[in-house]
Structure 1
Amino acid sequence: MDFVLIERNETGYLLDPAPYLAALKSFASRLPAGARRFATDPDHYDFRSERCVKDLRLREIIVSSTGGAISARATFAFNDIHPEILCISYREVSTCHVSQDPEGVLGPVQLDEIRPGDSGCVHEIQLIGGTILVTCADLDATWRRAPTS
C-alpha cells in the first residue's frame, strides 16, 4: 500500500486510512469514474458504517475473457448473516493477482486503496494473510442484498 497505514502491534493491527484520504484529494480527479465514486464514498473508510470495507471477507474472485478482453468480479461479505454483499466488477483487466502469506489463510479485509494507473486504476486490497491487486481500466462497486437461502 502506498498511503494506507497498517501496522501490527501487540494487540492486533493499527489501521489508518487518513494518509490515503489526504492524498486522494490530489488525485481523485484522475481516477476513472467508477473507481472515483467508490474511493470517495464517505462510508468506504468510516469504521462505524455497515458499508465500510474493513472486516469484509473475500467470497470469490472470477476472472473471465470475452473477445480478448479480461474482466474480473470480486465478491465480499462480512459473514453469512449480514444483509449486504459488496460486488466489485473490474473492466479491461491487465493484472489480477491474489497472494497469500506462507503462514496463514486469507482473513478479513484490513483496508484498501485505489490509485490512478497507466491503464486506468490500481486497486490494492490488504487482507489479513494476503493481498489482492487489480490493475484495470475502471471498476464498478455495488452493495447488494445477500441472497437468502
Structure 2
Amino acid sequence: MRFVRTHWQDHGFFVDPTAYLAELPRLRGVLPPGAWAFASEPGHYDIPGAVRCVKDLELAGIHPATDKSGRLVLEFAPNRFKHDSGLRISYSGVRHFSIDHHHAIDWLRVDTVLLDEILPEEEAGEDGVEGGGCVHEIALTDASITVRCQDLRAEWGSPR
C-alpha cells in the first residue's frame, strides 16, 4: 500500500491510515463512484470506535466469477467484539486479483483485516494501465489481497 501503514510491532499490529486520510479528499472525483463511497464512508478508518470500520473483519469467502464477466465478491464476517454485521464487496470489471500469503503468523485461526486502501488505477499501478478504475489493497494479518477493477460496491449487513 502506498499511504496506509500496517506492520507487526512488538506484540501486535501497528496500523496507521493518517497519510491516506490526508490524501483522500484529493481522490474525490478521481476514484470510481462506488470506490469513493466506500473509502470515504464515515467510520471506515475509525479504528477504536466505528462498527463500520474494516479493521478486524474476518475473511469469510472469495467468489470469483466462473465466466469472463470480470466479477468478484469478497465476504468478510464481523468480529463479534466490534461489528454488528459483516461486509460484502462486489467488484466489477476485474483485471487482476491476487492473494499473497505471508505465513508468518500461524497462530491465528482466520485472516482478519488490518486496513485497506483504494487508489485510482493510474496512480497505483506499476503496469501503466490507464482508462479509469481503481486498485483495492487489503492488508490482512497473514496475507494481502489486491484487486484491480473498474469499480466496487461495498454492502454492510452480510450475515455471519
CA RMSD of aligned residues (A): 1.8
- Shift of the alpha carbon at 1:145? 4.9
Structure number with the higher strand fraction is 1
Q: Aligned partners of 2:71 and 2:102: how far apart in 1?
A: 25
Q: In structure 2, how many angstroms separate the alpha carbons of the residues matched to 1:21 and 1:44?
A: 10
Which residue in 2 is equivalent to 1:141?
Answer: 154
Question: For residues 17 and 36 of structure 1, do their structure 2 counterparts lie closer, same or farther at Cα, with a shift above 3 Å needed?
Answer: same
CA distance in 2, matches of 1:35, 1:133: 14
Structure 2 residue 85 is the aligned partner of structure 1 residue 84: yes
Partner amino acid for 1:8? W
Percent of aligned positions that are identical:
39
C-alpha distance in 2, partners of 1:145/1:69? 23
Q: Distance in 2 between matches of 1:22 and 1:4?
A: 11
Gaps of 5+ in 1: none
Structure 2 unaligned runs (5+)? 122-129
Return the offset for 1:139: 0.1
Contact 1:109 1:128 (C-alpha < 8 Å) held by counterparts: yes
Looking at structure 1, the residues matched to 86 and 9 of structure 2 have their Cα atoms a distance apart, in angstroms, of 30
Give the ranges of 4+ consecutive aligned residues of structure 1 lying more than 6 Å apart after TM superposition.
none
Check if 1:30 corresponds to 2:21: no
Matched, 1:101 2:102: yes
Instruction: Give the C-alpha shift of residue 78 in structure 1.
Output: 2.3
- Report if aligned partners of 1:83, 1:145 keep a CA contact under 8 Å in 2: no
How far did residue 7 of structure 1 move?
3.2
Secondary structure, counterpart of 2:36 in structure 1:
helix
Q: Contact conserved, 1:4 with 1:15, CA < 8 A, in 2?
A: yes
Query: What is the TM-score of this pair, normalised by structure 1?
Result: 0.89
The change in CA–CA distance for 1:70 and 1:145 in structure 2 (over 3 A counts) is closer
The TM-score, its normalising length taken from structure 2, stands at 0.83
Alpha-carbon contact 2:70-2:92 (below 8 Å) kept: yes
Identify the match of residue 129 of structure 1 among 139, 142, 151.
142
SS at match of 1:132: strand
Amino acid paired to 2:112: P
> Contact (CA 8 Å) 2:55, 2:113: kept in 1 or not?
yes
- Which structure 2 residues correspond to residues 100-119 of structure 1 after superposition, within 5 A? 100-104=101-105, 107-117=111-121, 118=130, 119=132
